[in-house]
């Protein structure tokens, strides 16, 4: 106890206490995470465009309008939800299949839902897609063959990715910031090949459209193949530090590299006895 009392006044004591406190808080939070409220009504499976329309009216119409014509918020030029004629079944499959729609709350970004948090069954999404596709022609959900990465050329896809995608989504697909709080999400291995393909076809949210007239279906498949390749690639350097390039790498070098040098300098300058 005497030794503890003597160390209490050590200048590092406050820092050590702070770190201990933070760790404790983090550990408690990790052990007892707050539970999410779940207020979704589970809809019955539906197959046809007619049933899709009923599902749409029940779940989407409050923002997109009863007939998917879009709705203004009444606040300036802001819209609650855009008109959906012509966006196609691919757009519905992407937005609802990744859990971006229905949005939990209006905001600048529609974040994807985590694994297992998608509110609608595949059959429901297909039905709503059939309804939206019946309004006006638009991109359809791609076939399995169209998104098969084994049929794509990853090298060509890499070149296309660096020209068309990397400026927003980062050279390694790690994502990046856009204007005013929006961001380009990371394209990680958790996103299915089909959804990547659909995003390029339909241009969700801030993303521009890379339709078949811009990137041919083969080129789009090449990009999917490239993204699969970088997911599978092992990192020879160990920790990727988020693949963010010089920012995180520089921070690491400054904190740990320089810290090590400072520690050595202090040791060199201290007295042996």
* Span near another protein by CB under 8 A; candidates 68-76, 188-196, 231-239, 242-250: 231-239
* ∠ Cα 72 74 79 (to 5°): 30
Kindly give the residue spans of alpha helices, DSSP state H, lying in 60-141.
Answer: 61-64, 88-97, 122-135
In angstroms, the CA 99 to CA 252 distance is 34
Strand, coil or helix: what is 61?
A: helix
| Binding residue count for another protein, defined by CB under 8 A | 36
- Contact between 141 and 194 under an 8 Å Cβ cutoff? The reply is yes
* Span near another protein by CB under 8 A; candidates 22-30, 59-67, 88-96, 200-208: 200-208
- Among 8, 9, 36, 42, interactor with another protein by CB under 8 A: 9
77 token code pair? 């030029």
In angstroms, the CA 136 to CA 69 distance is 12
85 binds another protein (CB under 8 A): no
- Among 214, 245, 253, 258, interactor with another protein by CB under 8 A: 214
Q: Smallest gap, in angstroms, from Cβ of residue 270 to another protein? A: 8
* Span near another protein by CB under 8 A; candidates 19-27, 65-73, 117-125, 202-210: 202-210
Cβ-in-10-Å burial (0-12, 13-18, 19+) of 120 comes to buried
5 binds another protein (CB under 8 A): no
94 binds another protein (CB under 8 A): no
Kindly give the residue spans of alpha helices, DSSP state H, lying in 36-117.
Answer: 49-59, 61-64, 88-97
Q: Smallest gap, in angstroms, from Cβ of residue 165 to another protein? A: 9
83 token code pair? 């008109």
Complex with another protein: residue 9 or 42, whichever CB lies closer: 9
* Span near another protein by CB under 8 A; candidates 14-22, 66-74, 118-126, 263-271: 263-271
Q: Smallest gap, in angstroms, from Cβ of residue 95 to another protein? A: 14
* Span near another protein by CB under 8 A; candidates 41-49, 118-126, 145-153, 209-217: 209-217
147 token code pair? 């998104």
In angstroms, the CA 90 to CA 84 distance is 12
176 binds another protein (CB under 8 A): yes
In angstroms, the CA 38 to CA 23 distance is 30
Complex with another protein: residue 159 or 249, whichever CB lies closer: 159
In angstroms, the CA 149 to CA 168 distance is 22
Name residues contacting another protein, limited to 179-198 (CB under 8 A). 179-180, 182, 184
Residues that bind another protein (CB under 8 A): 9, 159-160, 163-164, 167-168, 176, 178-180, 182, 184, 203, 205-211, 213-214, 219, 234-240, 267-268, 271-273
């Amino acid at each position: 106890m005497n030794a503890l009392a003597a160390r209490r006044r050590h200048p590092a004591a406050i820092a050590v206490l702070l770190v201990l406190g933070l760790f404790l808080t983090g550990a408690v939070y990790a052990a007892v995470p707050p539970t999410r409220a779940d207020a979704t009504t589970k809809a019955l499976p539906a197959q046809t465009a007619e049933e899709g329309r009923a599902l749409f009216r029940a779940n989407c119409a409050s923002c997109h309008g009863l007939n998917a014509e879009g709705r203004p918020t009444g606040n300036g030029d802001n819209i609650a939800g855009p008109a959906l004629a012509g966006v196609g079944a691919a757009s519905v499959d992407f937005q609802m299949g990744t859990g971006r729609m229905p949005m939990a709350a209006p905001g600048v970004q529609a974040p994807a839902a985590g694994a297992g948090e998608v509110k609608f069954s595949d059959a429901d999404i297909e039905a709503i897609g059939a309804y939206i596709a019946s309004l006006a022609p638009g991109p359809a959900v791609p076939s399995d063959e169209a998104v098969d990465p084994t049929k794509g050329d990853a090298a060509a896809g890499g070149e296309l990715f660096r020209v068309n995608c990397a400026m927003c989504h980062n050279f390694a697909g790690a994502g990046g910031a856009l204007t005013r709080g929006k961001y380009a999400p990371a394209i990680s291995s958790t996103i299915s090949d089909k959804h990547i393909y659909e995003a390029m076809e339909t241009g969700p949210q801030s993303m521009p459209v890379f339709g078949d007239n811009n990137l041919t279906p083969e080129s789009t498949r090449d990009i999917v193949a490239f993204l699969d390749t970088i997911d599978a690639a092992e990192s020879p350097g160990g920790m990727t530090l988020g693949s963010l390039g010089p920012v995180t790498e520089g921070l690491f070098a400054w904190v740990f590299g320089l810290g090590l040098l400072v520690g050595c300098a202090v040791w060199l300058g201290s007295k042996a006895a």
